[in-house]
Structure 1
Amino acid sequence: MTDIISPEWLLHHLDDPDVIIIDCRFTLGQPEAGFKAYQQQHLPGAFHLDLEKDLSGPITDHGGRHPLPNPQKIAKTFENMGIDEQKHVIAYDDQQGAMAARLWWLLQYLGHSKVSILDGGWSKWIELGYPTTTIQPEAKPTTFTPHLHQELLAEMEEIRQKLHHPDTILVDSRDERRYRGEYEPMDPIAGHIPGARNYFWQEVLQKQGEWKKTSELEKHFQALPKDKEIIVYCGSGVTATPNFLALKQAGYKRVKLYAGSWSDWISYPDNPIAKGEENG
């Protein structure tokens, strides 16, 4: 299954009954904007899933700003959209793939590998002049049985145990200023997890917003040994998922997502915090 599919491919599969399209548009700080944009215009046949209402669980003392949803609850949501093991899910957004990658990772974690991201997302689709609609599709409910792949997920205790472990590399997916602790717009404490290296998630994309080719991604991550375990994180576990996908594209086999990410890490007062550069 190809993780990234072209707009041309999707254009020719809009009427395929085994393809289900999910609009994941969401704007941080403007929680209603994504669904409003979907109501105004979306890809033909697309359903909408909201980052905070659907693709995240309730916020508690720990778990970060976007905790993972309850597996049974999100499975029910998928069932109601007609997603089962036969369906190929195509996710898109207008946030450079971050929200779509969150859905991509969630489905992988739940054992559904037939999921791809639309290359270039909504912006590319519109640029190409491909069809859109305001009609919301009617779902044909089915059965979705989750089979959790725990090897894709890292929890806080595991991170704490593996700090500076020679076989594990932490990758911070936030921009350089947030990584270095110079600026923190989202969370109450600035900095990064000690030992983490910084690979800003948007660097896996071309300037036009499309995903870089495999050879480019291999070059981008060349300083990371492929025999090491790589654990990616960001602010809340969303924008780390493009890095997760890109590492997989580049041939890394042992990749995990710290789903709670920085916002979970700092919810434990005893966890150490680093600032400055550690990319050596």
Structure 2
Amino acid sequence: MYTTLISAAALAAQVDNPNWLIVDCRHDLANPDAGRDGYAIGHIRNAVFAELETELSGEKRGADGQFHGRHPLPDRTAFIDTLRRWGVNDETQVVAYDAHGGMFAARLWWMLRWVGHPAAAVLDGGLAGWQAGGYPMSTEAPARAAGALSDRPRLVHTVTAQDVLENIEGGERTVIDARAPDRFRGENETMDPVGGHIPGAKNRFFKDNLQPDGRFKDAAQLKADFAALVDDPAKVVAQCGSGVTACHNLLALEVAGMPGAALYPGSWSEWSSDPSRPVATGA
């Protein structure tokens, strides 16, 4: 069972295995159609496509009209139904990939753990690494029988905006923000109309988890990097712009052997929507 990362070579050996599911998670925040268009042009053979906006996210506003961020988690039952439609069973090994350093694939990895499915991994090096190895591509969508995935206890934790607000004064948890440094400082109005970060948060840009070739740093290096930020990974809260890229830091922590961190799904897009919540700017 692969539970964090898988190499292109290891995936290539199983690309036709009916008990494995490969999921293309490509997306572009500025062009929502880019991922599906890229999938149509060419994808890893036997991969299905996951739509971030509709399948890996839920309604932006709750029944009470409250805004929960740009990419809130979908209804848990609806997500399980999506996985079953893709053909996922309890024993299915799922491998997610994208072309963006794993920032979207990590979201699916985390969500699979959210519904209690441990056999989930991200393709290390993504699509670029796959193509560099000369492994098979396709333009056809695979036909898969519906799966019967069980609804099992979640393997991950989440926190709410209220939890984060209360933590600002208590300081028991360390909030790690995966956004680019300029966004963290409050200098990118295009991405964040309300700029800045949660007071007390620390910045760990998701790309800092990667080597120059797009593969993850090794476990020892990641552990050293995160040890400089946190003492206890079980007291970490991961966040970003909308709860997507934060999962990259959560994956990196797992690779480093530092499990137990929680996700703040609403992240900055939810936090900054309420002017009563405090905001910090600068480094």
1:69 has 2:70 as partner: no
Q: What residue ranges of structure 1 are gaps of 5+ in the alignment?
A: none
Aligned to 1:266: 272
Aligned to 1:94: 99
Provide the aligned C-alpha RMSD in A: 1.4
Matched letter for residue 54 of structure 1: E
8 A contact 1:169–1:228 mirrored in 2:
no
Cα distance in 1, alignment partners of residues 55 and 152 from structure 2: 19
Question: Matched residue of 1:91: which SS?
Answer: strand
Cα distance in 2, alignment partners of residues 114 and 9 from structure 1: 15
Go from structure 1 to structure 2 and tell me whether the alpha carbon gap of 1:87 and 1:228 turns closer, same or farther (over 3 Å shift). closer
Shift of residue 251 of structure 1? Answer: 2.4
Matched letter for residue 205 of structure 1: L
Aligned to 2:232: 226
Aligned to 1:276: 282
Go from structure 1 to structure 2 and tell me whether the alpha carbon gap of 1:228 and 1:59 turns closer, same or farther (over 3 Å shift). closer
Matched letter for residue 54 of structure 2: K
Q: What is the 5 A alignment of 1:128-207?
A: 128-149=133-154, 151-207=156-212
Go from structure 1 to structure 2 and tell me whether the alpha carbon gap of 1:87 and 1:248 turns closer, same or farther (over 3 Å shift). same
What per-residue deviation string (whole Å, max 9, x for no partner) do you get for residues 195-234 of structure 1? 0011111100111111110011011112211365000100
Matched letter for residue 38 of structure 2: A
Go from structure 1 to structure 2 and tell me whether the alpha carbon gap of 1:227 and 1:152 turns closer, same or farther (over 3 Å shift). closer
Cα distance in 2, alignment partners of residues 227 and 116 from structure 1: 20
Aligned to 2:86: 81
Shift of residue 31 of structure 1? Answer: 0.7
May I ask how many residue pairs the two structures share in their alignment? 277
Cα distance in 2, alignment partners of residues 110 and 218 from structure 1: 26
Matched letter for residue 26 of structure 1: H
8 A contact 2:113–2:156 mirrored in 1:
no
Matched letter for residue 50 of structure 2: L
Cα distance in 1, alignment partners of residues 155 and 274 from structure 2: 23
Cα distance in 1, alignment partners of residues 186 and 86 from structure 2: 41
Go from structure 1 to structure 2 and tell me whether the alpha carbon gap of 1:214 and 1:164 turns closer, same or farther (over 3 Å shift). farther
Q: State the TM-score, normalized to the length of structure 2.
A: 0.94
Aligned to 2:30: 29
Aligned to 1:16: 17
Go from structure 1 to structure 2 and tell me whether the alpha carbon gap of 1:227 and 1:216 turns closer, same or farther (over 3 Å shift). closer
What's the % identity of the aligned pairs? 38
Q: 1:106 aligns with which of 78, 92, 111?
A: 111
Cα distance in 1, alignment partners of residues 35 and 209 from structure 2: 23
Q: What residue ranges of structure 2 are gaps of 5+ in the alignment?
A: none
Cα distance in 1, alignment partners of residues 158 and 12 from structure 2: 33
Runs of 4+ in 1 over 6 A off after TM superposition: none
Q: 2:245 aligns with which of 213, 236, 239?
A: 239
Shift of residue 164 of structure 1? Answer: 4.2
8 A contact 2:3–2:118 mirrored in 1:
no
Shift of residue 253 of structure 1? Answer: 2.9
Shift of residue 160 of structure 1? Answer: 0.9
8 A contact 1:164–1:195 mirrored in 2:
no
Go from structure 1 to structure 2 and tell me whether the alpha carbon gap of 1:78 and 1:151 turns closer, same or farther (over 3 Å shift). closer
Q: 1:256 aligns with which of 248, 252, 262?
A: 262
